[in-house]
Amino acid sequence: MSNVTIRAVEFTADQKLLEFINKKMEKLNQYFDRITHSEVYLRLEGKSSNIKDKTVEIKVSIPGNQLFAKSTSKVFEEAADETIDNIKRQLKKHKEKLRN
């Protein structure tokens, strides 16, 4: 899946985090091979002086549908893992519906 857009909202994400998310997103093709585009939003929750949580939102576009998941955690990697797992479940469910 080469159509992954990662947007860090109001901050600059480091390259290590971007690579981590890209690597995880690539694996989604194993669950459903007709993903047309994905958008990942990284947000810092809280006031600028004391940022508490990190939020990851993912939108995945597939023919005729759009899947969405959102997770919040203390670290981006954990939130990304949780959100991607949620998208995996949705992709499996969608694939199952197509088979029936």
Residue 52: pLDDT band with limits 50, 70, 90: confident
Higher-pLDDT residue of 71 and 10 is: 71
Cβ atoms of 38 and 1 closer than 8 Å: yes
Average pLDDT rounded to a whole number, residues 26-35:
91
CA–CA gap between residue 27 and residue 23 (Å, rounded): 7
User: Hey, what domains does the chain have and what are their CATH numbers?
Assistant: 4-99 (3.30.160.100)
Burial status of residue 20 (CB atoms within 10 A of its CB: 0-12, 13-18, 19 or more): middle
Three-class SS state of 77: helix
Q: State the Cα–Cα distance between residues 10 and 25, nearest whole angstrom.
A: 22
Q: pLDDT tens across 59-99, in order?
A: 999 998 999 999 999 999 999 999 999 999 999 999 998 88
50 vs 10, residue with greater confidence: 10
